Structure 1
């Protein structure tokens, strides 16, 4: 029987633990906090907020993995398209439709090479050639809902195009576990315990355990760098202001607002899940990326301007509010000339494997955590890494 140690009890760590235990391994998970979930935790109390806007996309292999194990659970229904009141902030006003030229950049992939975004060119340059500067800028800012970066147009065109298309797909890929992401984490934790996984919370690990078999480090990349004392474990991420506001209900409030004039996104999560706030109140969560020379206060001011437009009288209706900064905690972003294969590899040698959202694995947002965890366990058990048709991880 294999013994596998997992450091970190977030989505990546629980995925690794479940997968290894299903294969017959004896698994121990060490989590530094008193609860599992990592960045997928949901706050307790009357306002059940995630750490920033969260959505679970259903277009990747992680969805199949969760569904096969009955882990997805009840989903909050997305409001009908006609009544969803999705608004786009463009040229200072709220609109119902994007700039017409922007639609050209949202088309499904075609065989024509001209529409395949290149890896080695920034998105703004490529998209301007395809649809003009105004549409390119609007599309880049819209993509921030799945990137959390202050300047998506400066990133690899291929990286941004994939996220743009998936974020704008109809019907939407974004799904919402009812009760917040903690409900998904709870189901994953229960599955792990039922498989005999040993879970130790409040157990901070300062060095790689020896003599306990392979080790999967499923932490943030910063934490992994310190733990493994490996300065090469770095990759670009985003820095964004998180704004959570609860307001008394009012007819006519928008469901979601995307800022096309600058990166930023607001979403009324109680539009699909009334369990997230007390009766008669609405919970709005937003993220507004912060530039390198910008303060959080400036980003919050942008959020408030958007709230003024989309949620009339919100200041007088506020019942609760919270602000935070997510610095380097929003997943990997790929500059021009790089892909996910260039990020820190899963296999670190000497029986140590990485998993997380900044590791060399494909996918959007949390999908990278799932996919890297599956690859890490496969390699730790001495199996082949899943092939391109499974997870596209041949080079992990």
Structure 2
């Protein structure tokens, strides 16, 4: 057995949450190590290069939320651009402009005059809305109570799907996805060379702060005694002792890694988790048969298409890299989902097959392991209350944030909790009524 030196913070998982937590821990002067089972870091934020095209694991967009603010605070360069949101909607098998601004609002054939007025009112209201008022009600309840025109409702369902990847309006909490829609109205960012470039920057920043990395090493279990964490045991026998351990795996794997997890909050978090998945088709085309049709919402279909090359460098030879999703519910069918995505591409870019350079199909990729839904008993983390020194982070450990924003926010919550507890131990009379 390889005994490693004792660390202040050991992080299981080297994705966005793990790397963010590592940087903030090391910045605070903590001896920090990241343990990753793969031979490269990034988790689901990796980018694969195929025939000169950069493909993420499904399309990724950076919203104006916690993740973007965090990466800017850390001084990351994040090369890329904000795309135009001029777009189309698919309704009854046909493409029509969707209202994304004043001109398209008044020219779209999808809405009646009354519907256009209702959208105009809501476009003015959305930015100022206090979304927390709607944290405890479902998205469907919010839509049915606040939107009246049937097509306006359909459009908003499509917008909410796109902002969150979730197809569960009766379960999804309205407040968080309304907040995400507010963020999206400020625009999104597509990253040059994909999210792998962002991961490279995070890794470099972590290394600059002295973070250690143990890659290609799978964790077997996280040992604890008398309610206190002891060490991380890897499958090759490596034992990493640490005062604090942050688990950034899925809730199911976190539960498996911790002995007697059934007696902890990890059980609740695993049981309440509802996984969100999508089928993703990415293609690199030599040219676009229909250059104006680059951004498309499915209105009566749960599909979405975006040419990310319109804002980011994603190909070495000028090919256009298009990402498409089929947002999935509980039932999935790989062949049917691929057929639907290819039919979408046929409609938006007819003749695309003759321009194809390379494609990537992911029939069922996890978008997030849990989301803010009204059946949640509690928000996960940052601390596992029954085991001192054990924490969770990841896109599923959300306290209202979505996707990458939840990854960075939960990572920072864990580090804040660790630092606050240490401050309390150093100062016996330290007064703080609530540990975040």
Give the structure-2-normalised TM-score: 0.78
Pair 112,321 (structure 1): closer, same or farther in 2 beyond 3 Å? closer
Counterpart of 1:38 (choices 37, 43, 59) is 43
Pair 186,35 (structure 1): closer, same or farther in 2 beyond 3 Å? same
Q: How many aligned positions are there?
A: 376
TM-superposed deviation, 1:378: 1.7
Partner in structure 1 of residue 80 of structure 2: 76
Q: Report the Cα distance in structure 1 between the residues aligned to 2:143 and 2:281, rounded to whole angstroms.
A: 30
RMSD: 2.7
Partner in structure 2 of residue 219 of structure 1: 249
* Greater shift in the superposed pair: 367-376 or 230-239: 230-239
Say whether the 8 Å CA contact 1:104–1:131 is kept in structure 2: no
Richer in strand (by share): 2
Pair 255,44 (structure 1): closer, same or farther in 2 beyond 3 Å? same
Deviations 1:4-37 (A, max 9, x none): 1111111111111111111111111101000001
Say whether the 8 Å CA contact 2:303–2:326 is kept in structure 1: yes
Give the match's secondary structure for 1:342. Answer: coil
Partner in structure 2 of residue 17 of structure 1: 22
Partner in structure 2 of residue 207 of structure 1: 221
Say whether the 8 Å CA contact 1:150–1:239 is kept in structure 2: no
Q: Could you say which structure has the larger radius of gyration?
A: 2
Partner in structure 2 of residue 390 of structure 1: none
Unmatched 5+ stretches in structure 1: 386-393
Matched, 1:354 2:415: no
| Superposition pairs of residues 269-280 of structure 1, within 5 angstroms | 269-274=308-313, 276-280=314-318
Q: Report the Cα distance in structure 1 between the residues aligned to 2:342 and 2:212, rounded to whole angstroms.
A: 45
| Superposition pairs of residues 334-373 of structure 1, within 5 angstroms | 334-336=372-374, 338=376, 342-348=378-384, 349-373=387-411
TM-superposed deviation, 1:304: 2.0
Pair 116,380 (structure 1): closer, same or farther in 2 beyond 3 Å? closer
Matched, 1:266 2:305: yes
TM-superposed deviation, 1:333: 2.3
Q: Report the Cα distance in structure 2 between the residues aligned to 1:346 and 1:74, rounded to whole angstroms.
A: 27
Please list every run of at least 4 consecutive aligned residues from structure 1 whose deviation after the TM superposition is greater than 3 angstroms: 101-113, 151-154, 325-329, 382-385
Counterpart of 1:128 (choices 132, 144, 151) is 144
Q: Report the Cα distance in structure 1 between the residues aligned to 2:297 and 2:413, rounded to whole angstroms.
A: 34
| Superposition pairs of residues 49-128 of structure 1, within 5 angstroms | 49-60=55-66, 62-71=67-76, 73-79=77-83, 81=84, 85-98=86-99, 99=111, 100=116, 101-109=118-126, 118-128=134-144
Say whether the 8 Å CA contact 1:120–1:337 is kept in structure 2: no
Unmatched 5+ stretches in structure 2: 1-5, 100-110, 224-229, 231-240, 262-266, 424-433
